[in-house]
Amino acid sequence: MICVFQWLRKRQKPDQIKNLPQLIANLKTSGDFLHFKSEQTGMPYFIYYFKTLVNEQELSEKILAPMVKNKVSSLKEVKDTVPIPGIILTDDLSDICEKVMIGYLILRFNENSNECALIPSPTDISRKVSQPEVEFTVVGSKESFVESLDKNLHLIRKRLPVHELKAYEITIGKLTHTKVAVLYLDGITNQENIQIVKDRLKGIHVDQVVDNSVIMQLITDNKNSPFPQLVDTERPDRAASVLCEGKIVILSEGSPQALLGPTTFIEFFSAFEDYFVNWIIASTARLIRIFAVLFSILVTPLYVATLTYHYELIPSDLLSTLVSSRQQIPLPPILEAIFLELSIELLREAGARLPTKVGQTIGIVGGIVIGTASVEAGLTSNVLLIIVALAALASFTTPVYRMGNTIRLIRFPFLLFAHLWGLLGVVLCFCFLLIHLLRLKSLGKPFLEPIYPLRVKDLKDALIRLPNKFQTKRPIQLQTESTVRFEKDKNEFHE
Amino acid sequence: MKLPVLLCISILLLSGCVENSVVDDIQMVTVIGYEKGEDGKIKGIAVAPQFQADGTIQNSVYIEEAEISKEIRSQYNSESPKPFVSGKLQLAIYSREIAEEDGIMELTDTLQRDPFIGSRAFLAISDTDIEKMLSTNFGNADTGHFLHSLLDHNSNYGMLPKTNLHNFFYYYFSEGNDPFLPLITLEEGKVKIAGLALLKEDKMVAELPADDLFTFKILYENFSSNDSFTTDLGNGDHASIYNIASKRNIDLKMLKKNEITIKGKVLGVIKEYTGEELSAKVIDKIEKDMEAEVEAKGREMIKKFQEEGIDPLGLGNAVRSVTRGKFDYDQWKDRYQEVDIKFNMQVVITESGVIE
């Protein structure tokens, strides 16, 4: 690894390039690097740029037109004439090299001097702000983050027009030079948390950062845990909302997802839509989701454990249904369950890899052909088919996609333990899971909060969401500098 | 690194020790019956349901004879393609012969010691041939479950007092109680509750006919039932009372004067009346008649219990509960037959229908 870095470092600081003409000669080896000399009488000037990075319309209208009109003859005059802010006059080679790669064009009068003007005129070919697809809500904002950091920042600043909103920027990635922004509210967000994020970001030395997910993996507390320890969202309103709570938001160039932290386990089961609906409905939805997760993890292992070891637990009325559905099946419950669980995983994976239109046929193949046929062929019992299908369905209720993946994965060790030691094994495995969760941290803060450590005040927005009048304080978890969100007395809650 | 290695080793070593019983690879006995066999042996009749893939249930009946009951089980295994398990046992039936002559404790003990058997399993005594009873098919049903439901709903909503394995052992071992078990018979292919078998220690000494169950239940416990009670008004008219809720109270205040009063209070609704008009006077008469009828039966029953020296009502236990210091059970047993046990009934008709 170290050799590669040293090699990269050598590549980035080319020893042989000592002056601007040499740099330009080097850049000219790329096919999309354009250069031309002005036809202007008097002082001729040279323009160099990457046509794929520069907005050529702006170049002719805002740069060339005024220059021709005013007959510019020096770099100083360029800065005064061209109506574009941010023009730099420099002779620093590394600066020139860096800027030309992000959409600046080089303008100079003397072909042998290092002196030149750098005029910013970058093209913007990013997608327009569109509807959220993963976290779509029927009510509420229909904007989602896009691949441009500036647009994403705009979407958040639009929602939080206060000067306390700070964006600390850092560039990560030896080759990708990805701009990463850490957003927080000054005077609210805990300084220690901000420092942790900054330090961890500074500690990243990789060649490429393709997405925010990479950053998430690199700064996460326990890298060997299947559980995500930072929430990712594509909703700017959610990002703005957690900023107000005192959380930190991490955005990066080229990624339509924001990372939110420090977070808790429970937050992965709260959808942002919970805040758009009445607290009773929101609380019910959250409880259903928590139930769905437990159901999804435990139901197949419980089936395996009960049918393998604990026949006496099955109610007499259910016994005949269960036994007669298993009568023709040659496989023990564990193989039957693994067979079905794997086929569901296969279907999901195939559906995720295929284009949308082909994906629809996968549903038909999975639902009808594999399900019905395996029951008819006597490979699985129809009771288990229902159970596995329900468990899969339940795992899709998790609002954060990453958590859904984790939940589907941790079912398998449970199955193994259920087969080996029955209910005792399930309990044992649950203990392991609980111990793991208790040890987890999100940006140094306990992950299972407010359940453990028990913070009763934070339960107001955890398993259930209490009405607004109870939400006057920020979560204790975040150790915010200012704890009061708003004063209850000043609100008229019409009681 | 240590933990995963330990985990793998423990999985490999420990999982071999666990004996599994996959639900379709075992023979689940749901009802077992004991009769007297030849040469002093015990005949055990076990029924295990066979659930077929098409949803039908067939009952396999296994009959074996042996010296002791545990030996019977190993003989069953030699006949069956799948191992026998006892975890779904719902009912154990003893023949009247065994219950009267040998006592049932010896055979019941194994049920108590087996941790797989639930304490809510029923025990019953059969008046008729058990082999015939258990060989009968009761529709597309598992015989054990069928018989269990029969006893279960009758003790929950009917006139049968609550009995199960736990109650039996409680009454058997505790001071001041004597156990009783339901008495069942097979009549024309149908199983019927014929009454109550009253036990002294573990031997059956007396029985109550089915008609007396209502009175016994009033004396024995608080209950509410959907069954009806019919009273004869003497002039050819009958009244049927249902939706009965009964409360029993044992008054031990006069214990020093050797007197115990059992007070029963019954609330009921008149469902059927054969006479002309149901006036307040008639309702009053119905109440009085029913009180007299139940009281007479109850007093007779209590007298019978005292003569036999059995205490299925748990009066000894009630006395023990108000005794300070150590309760001398042997002394109480001597005293029991002399105690003047009174029985007072109060019947309240709460509704008499809307027909005018």
- Say whether residue B26 is in contact with chain A using an 8 A CB cutoff: yes
Query: Which residue, chain included where needed, has tokens 């006892």?
Result: B86
Name the 3-class secondary structure at B272.
strand
| Residues with pLDDT less than 50, chain A | none
At residue B276, the pLDDT reads: 77
Q: How many CB pairs under 8 A join A and B?
A: 68
Structure ipTM: 0.85
Q: Give B-chain residues touching A420 at CB under 8 angstroms.
A: 11, 14-15, 18
At residue B355, the pLDDT reads: 61
Annotate chain A with three-state secondary structure. Answer: CHHHHHHHHHHHCCCCCCCHHHHHHHHCCCCCEEEEECCCCCCCCEEEEECCCECHHHHHHHHHHHHHHHCCCCHHHHHHHCCCCCCEEECCHHHHHHHHCCCEEEEECCCCCCCEEEEECECCCCCCCCCCCCCCCCCCCCCCCCCCHHHHHHHHHHHCCCCCEEEEEEEECCCCCEEEEEEEECCCCCHHHHHHHHHHHHCCCCCCCCCHHHHHHHHCCCCCCCCCCCEEECCHHHHHHHHHHCCEEEEECCCCCEEEECCCCHHHHCCHHHHCCCHHHHHHHHHHHHHHHHHHHHHHHHHHHHHHCCHHHCCHHHHHHHHHHHCCCCCCHHHHHHHHHHHHHHHHHHHHHCCHHHHHHHHHHHHHHHHHHHHHCCCCCHHHHHHHHHHHHHHCCCCCHHHHHHHHHHHHHHHHHHHHHHHHHHHHHHHHHHHHHHHCEECCEECCCCCCCCCHHHHHECCCECCHHHCCECCHHHCCCCCECCCCCCCCCCC
CA pair distance A307, B17, nearest whole angstrom:
18
Q: Give B-chain residues touching A324 at CB under 8 angstroms.
A: 51-55
CA pair distance B155, B213, nearest whole angstrom:
11
Nearest chain A CA: its distance from B16 CA (Å): 8
Residues in chain B: 356
Contact flag B54-A324 (C-beta cutoff 8 Å): yes
CA pair distance A183, A191, nearest whole angstrom:
12
Condensed to tens digits (0 to 9), the pLDDT of residues B14-71 reads: 777 778 889 888 999 999 999 998 888 899 999 999 998 888 899 999 999 988 777 8
Q: Closest partner residue to B24 among A316, A326, A422, by Cβ?
A: A326
Q: Give A-chain residues touching B88 at CB under 8 angstroms.
A: 311-312, 316, 319
Chain A nearest-CA residue for B115: A312
CA pair distance B298, B305, nearest whole angstrom:
10
Q: Closest partner residue to B20 among A309, A323, A328, by Cβ?
A: A309
Condensed to tens digits (0 to 9), the pLDDT of residues B92-141 reads: 999 999 999 989 998 898 888 888 998 999 999 999 999 999 999 998 88
Contact flag A420-B15 (C-beta cutoff 8 Å): yes
In contact, B132 and B143? CB cutoff 8 Å: no
At residue A4, the pLDDT reads: 56
- Say whether residue B24 is in contact with chain A using an 8 A CB cutoff: yes
Condensed to tens digits (0 to 9), the pLDDT of residues B160-199 reads: 998 999 999 999 998 889 999 999 999 988 999 999 999 9
| Alpha-carbon A277 to chain mean position | 25
At residue B265, the pLDDT reads: 93
At residue B121, the pLDDT reads: 93
Chain A nearest-CA residue for B24: A323
Mutation site for A-interface testing, chosen from B3, B11, B15, B23 by largest number of A Cβ within 10 Å? B23
Torsion sign over Cα A299, A305, A307, A311: negative
Q: Give B-chain residues touching A312 at CB under 8 angstroms.
A: 87-88, 116, 118
Q: Closest partner residue to B18 among A314, A326, A421, by Cβ?
A: A421
CA pair distance A25, B136, nearest whole angstrom:
103
Chain B nearest-CA residue for A326: B24
Report angle CA A15, A16, A21 to the nearest 5 degrees: 125
Q: Closest partner residue to A323 among B14, B51, B145, by Cβ?
A: B51
The domain locations on chain B are: 25-209, 222-356
Is B239's pLDDT higher than 90? no
Give the number of other Cβ atoms within 10 Å of residue A488's Cβ.
14
Compare B216 and A65 and report the one with higher pLDDT: B216
Q: Closest partner residue to B53 among A317, A324, A422, by Cβ?
A: A324
Q: Closest partner residue to A327 among B20, B52, B118, by Cβ?
A: B52
CA pair distance B139, B142, nearest whole angstrom:
9
Contact flag B22-A312 (C-beta cutoff 8 Å): no
Contact flag B52-A309 (C-beta cutoff 8 Å): no
CATH classification (class only), B222-356 = alpha beta
Nearest chain B CA: its distance from A434 CA (Å): 16
- Say whether residue A307 is in contact with chain B using an 8 A CB cutoff: yes
Contacts with B201 (C-beta within 8 Å, 6 or more apart), sequence order: B103, B105, B172, B178
CA pair distance A335, B95, nearest whole angstrom:
45
At residue A8, the pLDDT reads: 57
Angle separating helix axes A401-439 and A382-395, nearest 10 degrees: 90
Phi-psi region for residue B224, left (φ > 0), alpha (ψ -120 to 50) or beta? beta
Contact flag B18-A420 (C-beta cutoff 8 Å): yes
Provide the residue type at A125 as one letter.
I
